[in-house]
Structure 1
Amino acid sequence: MPSRFLTSACLSAALLLTATGCSDGSSTGSPAPSSTPTPSATASSTPPPATTAAPSTPPATTPARTPAQLTKGLLALADLPAGFSIEKADDSGDDDVTLSSKDAKCAKLVAFSNADVPPGSKASATQSYSGGAEGPFIDESLDAMGSAAAVGALQKSFKQAIVSCRTMTLTIPGEGRSPISVREVSAPKSGTDPVAVRFSATSGPLEGLEVTMITTGVGDVVLALTIVNGLPEDIEGATSAAVRKAQSVLGSGT
């Protein structure tokens, strides 16, 4: 069972998210001319020199995030308890893992789950970690969304998708397909607008599989953790460590 199948999936399909940008402009008016002529007004044949308005200074912008910068914000082994290792990326068919549902109320979450990257993402970085043969297995992703407002909109859209859906079907090539329950759970209080969801296979060949996903904001970046075989303390500890690391490297953004 690959441990990466929900990291890019559930978060990054914010197909329905359209980040709204706001522009701010200002205009200045010239003062009204005096209506009282000066004594030399009629005697002077030289018009006063024209004044040139100072060019406006464009507002400062936050430098665009890069994948290399985001990668530095991911957890390192030094940030995790002893016994963890970094998992190498596996390109052996995880893209064929799908979530589906015939329930129209789940259409939004299905879209979230099967997309590769958020449509508003400007840059991405991911990493996988293993706590041993029995886990926990942790995937982390960081997606730069361009602004904190876009992050908040994504979090709101993702939460609405979770609340609307109760069951879906998970299909893993070579492993089978099983129904899974969808349940919003309490998210660790780290980052901004944290959201957490638990996916549990209720029957079939994948019965017993349980995956918890947490997404939260770090300024203009969405941080997502997908944890398999994790105890509550694993979920809390990993989320706190990931947010601290991202904040220390990436700052608050805009």
Structure 2
Amino acid sequence: MTFRGALLTAALLSTAVAVGGCNTATPASTSVPSVPSGAVSTMTSAGSSTTTQATTTSAATSSSTSTGPATPTTPTSPAAAAPQRREKAALAGALLVLDDLPTGWSIEKGTGGGGGQLSSTTDAACADLNDLLNADGPKGSLVDASVGIDGGQDGPLVSERLDAMGTSAAATAVVGSLRDAAEGCRQLTVRLPDGTRARMRLSEVRAPQVGKGAFALRLTASGGDYDGLEITFLYAPLRDVLLSFTFFDAYPEELEGLSKDAEAKVVEKLKLGGQTT
């Protein structure tokens, strides 16, 4: 495998594992019901009352009758709306393809699998993040699809992944867990494509305005053959879909442009509609 191929393999592996939790994805052929985002519980109440009528008799006596006080009904919540279904083929169709990329870029196929532990740490402040980075996929993911992108001789290596999370709350929770886990963590030991391990500094970076509450973090290697190598992870909830990227040595404008193009395509192909930001 070439050096760039090894890097791309690592990128695909990183995206697959860097979003935390045990992967409970169903087989690709299975449609998975999910509760649509934005479902809000409403309550209705109804009361009934009767009117009081006065009846006057011809004997100059009068009497009135009235019903008892109204008994309010117990408010009830409506049944949950029909869940939205997402399939692997639909997610795959919302990924970036060659026509979406700059001239000279390409789509990578069959780059192989990685396997093994991506990162390690002895720092208690990094324990949660390390666990998320070494998990099989985002916790609660129902189905996923991913693609590798090669930016050419001087371009970055990129991996894009989409996970159907069932609800917007679930997608947002994954991003929140990563943000919380990264707080206070400053360094991780990362397994690089050639099998060596390198200490990499961790820092939160400004995320593009993609989705609602996007989060980005960067690992930077110092020393050795990979000195200066930057790996940037981006996570953006798009309603019930989690968009995630891994960028190897990407310029800010490449990260921004590619992620916004990906967001637009996901919104269009999966018919998310409305605002996702």
Aligned partner (choices 60, 67, 89) of residue 110 of structure 2: 89
Q: How does 1:158-197 map to 2 (within 5 A)?
A: 158-172=178-192, 174-197=194-217
Q: What SS class does the counterpart of residue 164 from structure 1 fall into? A: coil
Q: What SS class does the counterpart of residue 187 from structure 1 fall into? A: coil
Backbone CA RMSD of aligned residues: 2.7
| Contact 1:213/1:225, CA 8 A, preserved across alignment | yes
Q: How does 1:14-25 map to 2 (within 5 A)?
A: 14=21, 24=41
Aligned partner (choices 174, 179, 182) of residue 154 of structure 1: 174
Q: What is residue 49 of structure 1 aligned with on the other side?
A: none
Determine if the alignment matches structure 1 residue 127 to structure 2 residue 147: yes
TM-score (normalizing by structure 1): 0.80
In 2, Cα distance between the equivalents of 1:188 and 1:101? 28
Q: What SS class does the counterpart of residue 122 from structure 2 fall into? A: coil
Q: Which ranges in structure 2 are unaligned for 5 or more consecutive residues?
A: 1-6, 23-36, 54-76
| Contact 1:5/1:97, CA 8 A, preserved across alignment | no
Deviation per residue, 1:63-96 (Å, 9 max, x gap): 221111111111111111111111113335x112
In 2, Cα distance between the equivalents of 1:27 and 1:68? 40
Report the AA paired with residue 6 of structure 1: S
Question: How many residue pairs were aligned?
Answer: 230
In 2, Cα distance between the equivalents of 1:188 and 1:146? 24
Who wins on radius of gyration, i.e. which is larger? 2
Q: What is residue 75 of structure 1 aligned with on the other side?
A: 96
Deviation per residue, 1:179-212 (Å, 9 max, x gap): 0111000011121111111111123443322111
| Contact 1:211/1:228, CA 8 A, preserved across alignment | yes
Which piece of structure 1 moves more, 171-180 or 188-197? 171-180
In 2, Cα distance between the equivalents of 1:147 and 1:63? 9
Report the AA paired with residue 64 of structure 1: R
TM-score (normalizing by structure 2): 0.74
Q: What is residue 50 of structure 1 aligned with on the other side?
A: none
Calculate percent identity across the aligned residue pairs.
33
Q: What is residue 100 of structure 1 aligned with on the other side?
A: 120
Q: What is residue 33 of structure 2 aligned with on the other side?
A: none
Q: Which ranges in structure 1 are unaligned for 5 or more consecutive residues?
A: 16-20, 37-55
**CA separation of 1:153 and 1:131: change in aligned 2, threshold 3 A:** same
